[in-house]
Amino acid sequence: MTDNTRTPVIFTTLGDAGGIGPELVARSLADPALTKGVVRLIVGPRALFEAGCEIAGAVPDIPIFDDVEAAIASGAPVALVDDNPTGFGGVPLGAASREAGELDLALGRHAADLYRAGVIDGFVFAPVNKLSLKKGGSDFEGYKAYIADYLGETATAAEINTIGSLWTTRVSSHVSIAEVPALVTRDNVLRIIRYFDRELRRFGYESPRIAVSGLNPHNGDGGMFGREEIDAIGPAVEEARAERIDASGPYPPDTIFLTVREEGYLGVVSMYHDQCQIATKLLGFDEGVTYFGGLPFPITTPAHGTAYDIAGQGKASPTPINNALKLMRRAARTAKGLPV
């Protein structure tokens, strides 16, 4: 367990070495307010960090240490920990690689170990690439799943996305559309509503209002176009309400975001990936953050990917990683009962 008497420590990485992550990290250092009241450690090879600074045209003045404990003991609000656990020596920009994947996986394990040792309170990673992770030795569909397996965690988990004051999650995620109806069961919907309510409270929301989407056009029109709303989603919402969770629905999928905007809901539970992702990316593709719950420590990352097509060009926007850091700061300080 972490020590609630010390300043929260956030472990951050440079992301996939072939993508825009190192540039984003360099740009994020221009705003010291992002880590006010926390300690931010940038952990990774010094050469990769310096390459990101060169691309960004940044000349950050931060101390450099050989290990995490020394960096924390220094009292510096932001520090680089020069850590190269895989002997990384560089990769071409704009492509997935085994070397980048191996480095990201090793640093993810390091973050998990430090949390278990009570050293850090949260993890923010610059964008990683699923193909690089696979090349690097991961058999999981994403970075968070790999870390969860490493920790031995089997609790309910789903990606949560946030943009501005809106939060979304989904009952099914990276599966084909053909698989979705079988996953929309009463138990699965209720499990995600409970999970979403719990994770939102982690950020200081005492009784978050949650809108739940239907699956079918017009909510199935009384069963004419599908019965999931009648047999699974509606009953799950009612059971959640009986547990004093402030959930409502199901709302028709094509208008739920209008309802949320007009009635001031905090969160949306959708039934599948694109049901919420299309809406949130229209609201601000360059602003969103992905939060990974279901672990004992919070993890955030920009909602976008490694953007290989613009890697090295010096034009990547730091807004999403800045927002990921803001969100982690809030989570880490809330967990210790500190004002945000």
> SS3 letters for 71-119?
HHHCCCCEEEEECCCCCCCCCCCCCCCHHHHHHHHHHHHHHHHHHHCCC
pLDDT at 159: 87
The one-character DSSP state at 122 is: E
131 and 17 in contact (C-beta within 8 Å)? no
Beta bridge partners of 248: 211
Q: Could you report how far apart the first and last alpha carbons of the chain are, in Å?
A: 21
Q: How far apart are CA 70 and CA 66, in angstroms?
A: 7
pLDDT at 35: 87
Token representation of residue 148: 């969860």
Q: How far apart are CA 273 and CA 215, in angstroms?
A: 12
pLDDT in tens, the chain (340 residues): 455 668 999 999 999 999 999 999 999 999 989 989 999 999 999 999 999 999 999 999 999 999 999 999 999 999 999 999 999 999 999 999 999 999 999 999 999 999 999 999 999 999 999 999 999 999 988 898 899 999 998 877 788 999 888 999 999 988 999 999 999 999 999 999 999 999 999 888 999 999 999 999 999 999 999 999 999 999 999 999 999 999 999 999 999 999 999 999 999 999 999 998 888 888 876 778 999 888 888 999 998 899 999 999 999 999 999 999 999 999 999 999 998 8
pLDDT at 280: 85
Q: How far apart are CA 132 and CA 100, in angstroms?
A: 6
Query: What's the CATH code, domain 159-281?
Result: 3.40.718.10
pTM of the model: 0.89
For 9-155+295-335, which CATH superfamily applies?
Isopropylmalate Dehydrogenase (3.40.718.10)
Give DSSP secondary structure letters for 136-202.
TT--SSSHHHHHHHHHT--S---EEEEETTEEEEES--SS-GGGHHHH--HHHHHHHHHHHHHHHHT
Q: How far apart are CA 174 and CA 207, in angstroms?
A: 29
pLDDT at 225: 94
pLDDT at 287: 79
In whole angstroms, how far apart are CA 49 and each of 19, 55, 79, 222, 245? 12, 10, 12, 57, 44
**Domain boundaries in the chain?**
9-155+295-335, 159-281
The one-character DSSP state at 231 is: I
pLDDT at 167: 95
User: What's the longest Cα–Cα distance across the chain?
Assistant: 66
**Per residue in 98-121, pLDDT tens?**
999 999 999 999 999 999 999 999
Classify 242 as helix, strand or coil: helix
pLDDT at 332: 92
Q: How far apart are CA 5 and CA 301, in angstroms?
A: 26
pLDDT at 270: 97
